[in-house]
Amino acid sequence: MPDRIPEDDEYLPIEDYGVIGNGHTAALVSSRGSIDWLCFHRFDSPSLFARILDPDRGGYWSIQPEEPFESSHRYRKATNILETTFRCTAGTVVLRDFMDIASVARLRRLPAPGRIVRLAECTDGKIGIVCRCLPRPNYARTLPEFAPRGNRVAFGTCTIAGPAAWEVDNLTRALTCRITLRAGEKAAFTLATEDDAALPQLAPEDALKATTDYWQKWSDRCTYQGPHRDIVIRSALTLQLMTYSPSGAIVAAPTTSLPETFGGERNWDYRFTWIRDASFTLYALLLAGYLDDEQPFFDWLVRTVTLKGTGISILYPIVPESGTTEEILDNFRGYRNSRPVRVGNGAAVQEQLDVYGEVMGAIHFAWRIGKYDPTPIWETVREMLDWVTVHWHGRDSGLWEVRGGVRHFVYSKAMLWFALTCGIEIAEGMQLPGDVDGWRRERDLIREEVLERGWSDALGAFKQSYEDEHLDAANLRLSTINFIKGNDPRMLSTIDATLEHLVVDGLCYRYVGAPEGVTGKEASFVACTTWLINALIRAGREREAHRMFRDLLARASSLGLYAEELEPLTGTHRGNFPQAFSHIGIMNAAVSFAHIGYAGTVRPHHTAAAEAAGHGGGGTRAEQRKTALSQNP
């Protein structure tokens, strides 16, 4: 059975896409007006549209002029509303895509995720518009059965509505709606679950205004006033799209299996909550001044970690009833023929010891700026810290989830040191119960061991693990967490070794040549480049850092979005998109530059990250909060 519509069947670059969402799910929309990825109604639901993973079978929902066109897109200022402009010989059409988050907010007690609204407006001339919808539920393993009802068509649990009757093609299982718009005329298309469709809803134009107001008011809460405010807000808006509002869980990315290597097997499902990524996301949003949204994540953290007991899994489903078991979708050929296409993630069974440091760092920062009281979760925190003192000697799979065997990763050890340091400061600052003397004793032993066994004279740098002689960009964060001073000769040497061996055209790789257990060559990591930038700032090398940051910003997509990786020579984005880890790094670097006065003349070794970690100075609680927030002048 032919599934493909002849037009637009090629793979578009990943960076060609924008993302819209509503706190339940997210959709990828191309610059040509096609929704090519959507899991409805939740981030981890099976896909409804997945053309980005298979142009033949995946399915999509496009709205385009019938005649040839040129197109471009942008976000409406300070919102997650995407505007695509089509220019044709006969005129111009603007398509506004958004998820009706305002209606969700009004009906928060309901499980329904709200509507996708697509508003087409002719601003000049007379344009024929064609809307094609090829739904492919359950990762295209189920063909839809259509039930037309005037200008609406129901299929499965969804209903699509348009301004005119739909043509139903039961051979290709496609829906088509055609209209003609003249200058000043508008038409609305919506997709909703059947439950949503039965509810009172705002008219599409009113929903656009309400959703615009919602996002702009949210953006206005950003306290960062530095030279990159627009960039910080765009990254914050992107991170907010990755938060599952009913539970507070935060996904690492809204997509699965967008490859790190085109044609290779480095294809992972990121629609889960990595404790590490979620903690960093919370930290970044707090750093930018979004100080009232931390409670849901901490509530989720306590509920979820308690299920596991004292040990922390590295990733969890966003709701308990979902699983993480990894399986292969054989019916998809993958983005640019990159197989396998995976759903679920086998890394869930790994032990990665660094996560304790990331969790404690987020808790510590929220506490230090006076926006979170850890007392209700202290028993859970005590269990984690006691667990660390017993298990820090062990091996793990490391930050990068390598499948090449467990080792003593230097970064993991340092983050365990950081976890205990944060716990000690909270316990002493709030006079909470705990084995503080035991925590301090083990913390000091960790540092002593890392400095002895984690340093390589041959590399002139901290190495990836005790067992090997490889560089690892994660060790650039050792000065950020104040494990070692930014201008310590060992840190300076590690930076120089990284610049020489891991950096290509201003972009930093995670590592080179280390055992992984996975074939294929990856590109540079956006997050690693931002870590290098922060390490340079803390080393007093602000000019180098600024040049690298400027070049990194120039490699963003036209919408200001980043995938997980960047190919240095071509600028191609690789990996799942958009990637929380990348945007976290962009925000942290921008805030760090603002904090040092951009030219590096103000407290050159006392960056935003150090303040956030809670090791920037003493003083009263009010003074500490003022200090922590001083990075956002």
Tens-place pLDDT, residues 152-167: 999 999 999 999 999 9
What are the sequence ranges of the domains in the chain? 14-195, 226-629
Query: Phi/psi zone of residue 272: left (φ > 0), alpha (ψ -120 to 50 degrees), beta?
Result: beta
How far is Cα 413 from Cα 292, in angstroms, rounded to an integer? 32
Sign of the dihedral defined by the CA atoms of residues 377, 379, 380, 384, in that order: positive
How far is Cα 532 from Cα 503, in angstroms, rounded to an integer? 10
Indicate the pairing of strand 82-88 with strand 91-99.
antiparallel
Q: What is the pLDDT of residues 451-510, one digit of tens each?
A: 999 999 999 999 999 999 999 999 999 999 999 999 999 999 999 999 999 999 999 999
Taking the CB of residue 212, how many other CB atoms lie within 10 A of it?
Answer: 19
- 14-28, 245-259, 511-525 — most confident range: 14-28
Instruction: Give the burial class of 513: count Cβ atoms within 10 A of its Cβ; 0-12 exposed, 13-18 middle, 19 or more buried.
Output: exposed
Q: Does the pTM exceed 0.75?
A: yes
Ranges of H-type helices in 330-377? 355-368
Tokens linked to 507:
């972009």
Say if residues 326 and 317 touch (Cβ distance below 8 Å). no
Say if residues 154 and 146 touch (Cβ distance below 8 Å). yes
511 three-state secondary structure: coil
Domain 226-629 has CATH 1.50.10.10: yes
How far is Cα 332 from Cα 477, in angstroms, rounded to an integer? 38
Selected from 2.120.10.30, 2.70.98.50, 3.40.50.1460, 1.10.600.10, the CATH number assigned to the domain covering 14-195 reads 2.70.98.50
How far is Cα 400 from Cα 531, in angstroms, rounded to an integer? 15
Residue type, 226: G
pLDDT at 614: 34
Q: How confident is the model at residue 556 (pLDDT cuts 50, 70, 90)?
A: very high
Question: Nearest 5°: phi and psi at 624?
Answer: -65, -45
Rg (CA), the chain: 25
Q: What is the pLDDT of residues 422-440, one digit of tens each?
A: 999 999 999 999 999 999 9
Paired strand residues for 83 = 74, 96
Q: What is the pLDDT of residues 58-98, one digit of tens each?
A: 999 999 999 999 999 999 999 999 999 999 999 999 999 99
Instruction: Give the burial class of 623: count Cβ atoms within 10 A of its Cβ; 0-12 exposed, 13-18 middle, 19 or more buried.
Output: exposed
